[in-house]
Chains A and B, each alone.
Chain A
């Protein structure tokens, strides 16, 4: 084999692989540029006063998206209220308490739950959860509560697996020291392990939040829909994602641009979360 030709071939291969690696960067840049470009008419022609009002009626030129932002915030918060205790409990169970077989079973269960398509979970919400809530509360059954339960179930696997990793990185010497000083298992968990794993747990919650903010189809099947503020936890409303999903098909012109502006808001939220995660994970290696 001619040495110089093999070196130049390696050089070419390296350049090609570099270009492939940069596809990830190209992808996110394309998404940001395109979504921004499509939402410019909304920002210039509709204007912030109209956008940040509470009335949505494209026929009369009212493009207020506050109701949808509130919907997203409420359902995400509700989802986290359900998912965080479930996920933290499961992660603690897996790392501190589970007998081996039970641990394997729960681990597999969480993996499978993470892989269940959102449309399937939404279908359960629509055919089982909503009728149940409707009967219990004598209302439509759709709305914030149903969406929160669905989102809680869906973001639980994300939070569990990251929280589990965070708990596992706490050196076992910490635990042994605490137990050796006479602390009970729970005292050790509460006063030693959870504080030591805090940055990782924060990352887990933030990424779970990301899952909840971005979830679309499953929420769309149980949210209502309606373009007004919800009067109770079981009255129809909308979120950013469900509004985009349901209206993009028949939209054009300014209305479409406003939907892209809503996508832009979602992008800002997710980029903000990535930056927070980066900040939270930057420092801190455990002292051994």
Chain B
């Protein structure tokens, strides 16, 4: 009944030509396509599963061993740990965030609150888009020439942090701008209607509301910094024995140290064990950061829902 109506309709649509008669064929085609699409999606998901399981399978036992986490790295003999590498990773992330957050958030405030859409905003967006497509190895050798050689910082955490600041600038700007734009316009109107100027409004009303969004973006950026390797191998360093204290000291973030293990690790008898443990630890850190970012945005959403109810 329904079928005949649809057929009549489609016959009318096709200008009187007879409706297609191979309905069973198209239905079969539809089921096959559904199966194919489902399998492709599941294949992608299982690739992720294989990666996580395989990395943890090889490295989890090592990665959770306190003697490995807090141990001193070894350059020539077995039994080394990765404590200075863990410290380097987080130190580098902290340093980068401290530099890039003010720049990125400031730029986002300009774009979202002050600038009129026009030539300037187009130029800035083009700059940010271009930065986000530059391969990380190009950032690496750029940072090496500019910060390590010309500025004379040598291989150091600060050289890496400055390089990663530029690398992450588009992401920090975008997430901050989204967080700012998510604040309803009525807030701005209310504040400015009470006589506050634009900057006062941003400082006292808009920014506080955008903090959770900016925080989520910052946590995801920390994850990216800790996972980055090509941009830091030639700026920060790949092996240290002691914890770096000064920002001007060379470091060896975990990701760069795994690369070192692959290229020169054969000097260490248990390099496979060390690198696998380090990879597993790195993966756990990145997964934890991902979870943390999700938690922050969930808490925030729950909070706004309550405040909506009171509004």
Contact = CB atoms under 8 A, between A and B. Distances in A.
Contacts of B10: 181-182
B255 A119 contact: yes
The residue in A24, A112, A180 that gathers the most chain B C-beta atoms within 10 A of its C-beta is: A24
B166 A115 contact: no
A273 B132 CA distance: 11
Interface of A: 6-7, 9-10, 13-14, 16-18, 20-31, 34-35, 38, 85-90, 92-94, 96-98, 105-106, 109-113, 115-121, 123-124, 126-128, 153, 156, 160, 180-182, 184-187, 189-190, 207, 210, 213-217, 220-221, 241, 244-246, 248-249, 259-260, 263, 266-267, 270-271, 273-274, 277-278
23 contacts: A20-B107, A24-B128, A25-B127, A27-B127, A35-B138, A90-B40, A113-B51, A116-B227, A118-B229, A119-B255, A124-B50, A124-B55, A153-B51, A182-B19, A184-B27, A187-B26, A214-B136, A217-B229, A221-B262, A244-B137, A245-B140, A271-B133, A274-B133
Interface of B: 6-7, 9-10, 13, 19, 26-27, 29-30, 33-34, 36-41, 43-45, 47-48, 50-51, 54-55, 58, 102-103, 106-107, 109-111, 114-115, 120, 123-124, 126-131, 133-142, 144-146, 166, 169-170, 173, 197-200, 220, 223-224, 226-230, 233-234, 255, 258-259, 262-263, 272, 275-276, 279, 282-283, 286-287, 290
A203 to B, nearest CB: 11
B135 A86 contact: no
Nearest to A38: B145
A113 B109 contact: no
Nearest to B111: A21
Contacts of A118: 227, 229-230
A223 B262 CA distance: 13
A196 B144 CA distance: 45
B40 A123 contact: no
Contacts of B226: 117
Contacts, number: 265
B9 A182 contact: yes
B275 A213 contact: no
A97 B37 contact: yes
The residue in B44, B198, B263 that gathers the most chain A C-beta atoms within 10 A of its C-beta is: B44
B138 A267 contact: yes
Contacts of A112: 48, 287, 290
Contacts of A89: 36-37, 39-41, 43-44
B227 A90 contact: no
A126 B146 CA distance: 32
A17 B227 CA distance: 30
B114 A267 contact: no
